[in-house]
Amino acid sequence: MNHPARVRPPVVTETGTTSHWGAFRVRSHAGGALEVVPHPADPAPSPLLGNVVSALRHPARVAAPAVRRSWLEHGPGPRPRSADEEFVEIGWDTALDLVAGELDRVRAGHGNEAIFGGSYGWASAGRFHHAQSQLHRFLNTLGGFTSSRGSYSIGASLVLLPHVVGDAEAVLRRASTWPTIHAETELVVAFGGMPEKNVQVTSGGVTRHNTLGHLRALRARVALVSPNRADLPDGVPADWYPVLPGTDVALMLGLAHTLLAEGLHDQAFLDRYTTGLDTFARYLRGHDADWAAGVCGIPAGDIRDLARRMARSRTLVTVTWSLQRAEYGEQPVWAGLALAAMLGQIGLPGGGFGHGYGSMGDVGDTGPAGRLPYLPQGRNPVGTFIPVARIADMLLCPGESYDYNGSVLKYPDIRLVYWAGGNPFHHHQDLNRLRRAFTRPDTVVVHEPFWTATARHADIVLPATLPLERDDIGGGRRDTHLIAMRRATGPYGQARDDYAILAGLAERLGVLREFTEGRTTREWLEHLYETWRTGDQPSFARFWAAGELELPPGPQHETLFADFRADPVANPLPTPSGRIEIFSRTVAGFGYDDCPGHPVWREPAEWRNLPRYPLRLIANQPATRLHSQLDVGAVSRAAKVAGREPIELHPGDARARGIRAGDVVRVFNDRGACLAGAVLTEALRPGVVRLATGAWYDPDGDLCRHGNPNVLTADRPASRLSQGCAGHHALVEVERWHGDPPPVRVLTPPPLVRCAP
């Protein structure tokens, strides 16, 4: 049969922009249709580009300012905040009056500390319209807010690394580069693997996705330590060590024990560059390869062989960020570092320690490491903060004390929660508990482009634009270009830029001048660019007309801690000893049983649920989107199974439960349950299931109809040291769902009383 030829209307305009998954171009066709095409310089454009246009005008967009019916009728105060309640659309003037009035009431009656403006989340790329930066700047002009510290990504590492190597930034931002690894490394021991799905993403985006090519071109042999074979690209020479989730530390101890027992450690390096091996070595006595095998599921012979190979090769020990997003998450980072130190190769090209290869696209990348233009946020006069993942504890337990990094902090009494650019009902653990926590404040204000679960749990929802609907400047760390993000289309419905929303509030609260400094968006872009550029770089007008600016390349060959190795006296680490602290007197002095002074194995508390919930769930980053962003987009939707988020199971585990590929299943434990769609794969270790994060939470009682794994994870910190997010693992059971599953309801807005057009 002949198909009628599809004739594309001619391209009218083409604009450039960028995203956390990379720079791209937007073509407008006659008639208004938009098309996304990759940036011409990008060797590996991200498949996530396919979510952009399909989500842009999706009916799940927030079209107008909306207020929860019960809040509108009864005013501020604790309330159930059901996700099914009706919202009433109101005009912008009324909405801004309500929010400004609430900010005023709360700060006058309870002080600025009662405003929680942490507002964690990735928002969109773009240096000016970064929602969280805008909100922080705005709240600072009002006298400040309770903030949050650290990240969900690396909450444990950010607190641990300063104690043990002095500078978290060095490890996280100046990793040994891929070209050096290609040239020098013989063996990569990759705890958590190096999954290619993750390297398409960097905060702020990159124009050239080089990391994927580096990863696929790896010639060094890789010891892939992961319950999931898919955590390394096919074709990379590898041996698979299918460790049980949460047990990498046991394996590391077994390796370290073998090095010591067989005299394979580098005593000269340890003497000169580290402190505390003796204490660690005493602890290792009870933790040999046989012991490790019993915990981590890797045979003792394989552990000993791997230790010997590590000692005779140029070896890079790398730990993904996922490993520290778990109970006792500090330990795999600290133990991995200790293991690398025992090999004596830290600071040698191609050897040593890495953290986050395969977690983020910019780790090991060779792009420029200079600063980008940024929006000044002012100063927050309120000193109160929480470690970011303690949000539910804060709302549920005002006034209670807790430990954090050697101090005792107290939770403030929050009356108003303000969120712009994040989705806590995606990112936080134990969502049924978070729902209870969100009943406590008087008012919840959210700026969102979409009716996400966070918007549905708010009182006042203000519709925000997406990057294609506004002008901005974009770029990421290690990006080769600075991108002029030129508006490609008008805003959806009545959506406004976060900046415009906050300027409207600032005007009502008498701080317009402080907040805007009298600048329009375009004037801000010019100001940020002009105060950033060097004399030999083009003016803003030329940059904007050209659409992008190529930045000078970064060094190809860099080795983490090379200076320290070259001269530890002239270049000591900023630790108390000036050295790598395998034992930290400071951490030991805190007296935390869940994070003592050297790396230790601790059995996760979650394991008490074995064997009632025999399957070990990995809730990792999704391949088909960034977190929960654009979950209504075409690429994310195409991966759903029967409309639910896919859960991967080993065929044996599925068979034992009568589950076939494509079935809707119920995944459950004591905290809650979700539906998901079964996908069978031999790539997983038996007994392990994988359900990625980010399906928009769709609550029906304790059940999420759509497949958000955070109904299953525990709201338990990594330890008292970091209070970091530990949401990566949970124990669950999976069963076939019989009959028709309840429909997913997140693709349409909540019940809305529409205002007259």
Ligand X SMILES: Nc1nc2c(c(=O)[nH]1)N[C@H]1C(S)=C(S)[C@@H](COP(=O)(O)OP(=O)(O)OC[C@H]3O[C@@H](n4cnc5c(=O)[nH]c(N)nc54)[C@H](O)[C@@H]3O)O[C@H]1N2
Which residues carry out catalysis? 120, 122
Q: How far is Cα 495 from Cα 564, in angstroms, rounded to an integer?
A: 52
Size of the residue set binding ligand X (CB under 6 A): 61
List the alpha helices (DSSP H) in 585-660.
Answer: 585-590, 634-638, 651-656
| Minimum CB distance to Mo ion, residue 152 (Å) | 5
The residues, any chain, with a CB within 8 Å of residue 244's CB and separated by 6 or more, are: 227, 295, 296, 297, 616, 685, 687, 688
Omega within 30 of 0 (cis) for the link into 40: no
Question: Contact with ligand X (CB under 6 A): which of 98, 142, 284, 323?
Answer: 323
Please give the residues from 650 up to 709 whose contact with Mo ion meets the rule CB under 5 A.
Answer: none
Q: Residue 246, interface with ligand X (CB under 6 A)?
A: yes
Question: Contact with ligand X (CB under 6 A): which of 171, 181, 618, 675?
Answer: 618
Q: Dihedral (C-alpha) 389, 328, 203, 132: value to the nearest 10 degrees?
A: 10
Q: Residue 619, interface with ligand X (CB under 6 A)?
A: yes
| Minimum CB distance to Mo ion, residue 58 (Å) | 24
Q: Residue 325, interface with ligand X (CB under 6 A)?
A: yes
Strand partners, 274: 580
E strand segments, 147-293? 147-149, 187-191, 221-225, 238-241, 274-275
Q: Which is nearer to ligand X, 226 or 516 (CB)?
A: 226
Q: How far is Cα 696 from Cα 430, in angstroms, rounded to an integer?
A: 14
Measure the N-to-C terminal CA separation of the chain; round to a whole number of Å: 45
Q: Residue 226, interface with ligand X (CB under 6 A)?
A: yes
| Minimum CB distance to ligand X, residue 3 (Å) | 34
Q: Which is nearer to ligand X, 266 or 471 (CB)?
A: 471
Q: Residue 387, interface with ligand X (CB under 6 A)?
A: no
Q: Residue 228, interface with Mo ion (CB under 5 A)?
A: no
Q: Residue 133, interface with ligand X (CB under 6 A)?
A: no
| Minimum CB distance to Mo ion, residue 181 (Å) | 23
Q: Residue 362, interface with ligand X (CB under 6 A)?
A: no
| Minimum CB distance to ligand X, residue 579 (Å) | 28
| Minimum CB distance to ligand X, residue 631 (Å) | 8
Q: Residue 197, interface with ligand X (CB under 6 A)?
A: yes
Contacted by 168, from Mo ion, ligand X, none: CB < 5 to 8 Å by type: none
Q: Which is nearer to Mo ion, 87 or 122 (CB)?
A: 122
Question: Contact with ligand X (CB under 6 A): which of 228, 366, 521, 719?
Answer: 228
Q: Which is nearer to Mo ion, 153 or 710 (CB)?
A: 153
The window from 574-582, 592-600, 625-633, 636-644 that contacts ligand X (CB under 6 A) reads 625-633
Question: Taking the mean position of all CA atoms in its chain, how far away is CA 664?
Answer: 28
The window from 29-37, 297-305, 622-630, 738-746 that contacts ligand X (CB under 6 A) reads 622-630
Strand bridging mode 443-448 / 416-420: parallel
Q: Residue 629, interface with Mo ion (CB under 5 A)?
A: no
DSSP sequence for 357-413: TTTSTTTT--S-----------------EEEGGGHHHHHHSTT-EEEETTEEEE---
Q: Residue 540, interface with ligand X (CB under 6 A)?
A: no
Q: Residue 19, interface with ligand X (CB under 6 A)?
A: no
Please give the residues from 141 up to 160 whose contact with Mo ion meets the rule CB under 5 A.
Answer: 153
| Minimum CB distance to ligand X, residue 706 (Å) | 14
Q: Residue 521, interface with ligand X (CB under 6 A)?
A: no
Of 197, 148, 182, 597, residue with least CA distance to 383:
148
727 in Cβ contact with 619 (< 8 Å)? yes
Q: Which is nearer to ligand X, 322 or 723 (CB)?
A: 322
Q: Residue 622, interface with ligand X (CB under 6 A)?
A: yes
Q: Which is nearer to ligand X, 476 or 597 (CB)?
A: 476
| Minimum CB distance to ligand X, residue 355 (Å) | 10
DSSP sequence for 2-66: PPPP-PPPPEEEEEEE--TT--EEEEEETTS-EEEEE-TT-SS--GGGGGHHHHHT-TTB--S-E
Contacted by 421, from ligand X, Mo ion, none: CB < 5 to 8 Å by type: ligand X
Q: How far is Cα 654 from Cα 142, in angstroms, rounded to an integer?
A: 55
Q: How far is Cα 148 from Cα 523, in angstroms, rounded to an integer?
A: 30
For residue 563, how many C-alpha atoms fall within 13 Å in the half-sphere facing its CB?
A: 9
Size of the residue set binding Mo ion (CB under 5 A): 1
Strand bridging mode 672-680 / 703-704: parallel
List the alpha helices (DSSP H) in 630-687.
Answer: 634-638, 651-656
Tokens of 23: 């720079």
| Minimum CB distance to ligand X, residue 477 (Å) | 13
Q: Which is nearer to ligand X, 19 or 575 (CB)?
A: 19
116 in Cβ contact with 135 (< 8 Å)? no
Q: Residue 119, interface with Mo ion (CB under 5 A)?
A: no
Please give the residues from 263 up to 292 whose contact with ligand X meets the rule CB under 6 A.
Answer: none
Q: Which residue is nearest to Mo ion (CB)?
A: 153
DSSP sequence for 323-351: GGSSTTTHHHHHHHHHHHHHHT-TTSTT-
Q: Residue 443, interface with ligand X (CB under 6 A)?
A: no
Q: Which residues bind to Mo ion, rule: CB under 5 A?
A: 153
Q: Which residues bind to ligand X, rule: CB under 6 A?
A: 121-124, 129, 131, 152-153, 191-193, 195, 197-198, 200-201, 225-228, 231, 243, 245-246, 248, 320-323, 325, 359-360, 420-423, 426-427, 447-450, 452, 464, 498, 618-623, 626-629, 693, 709-710, 713, 727-728
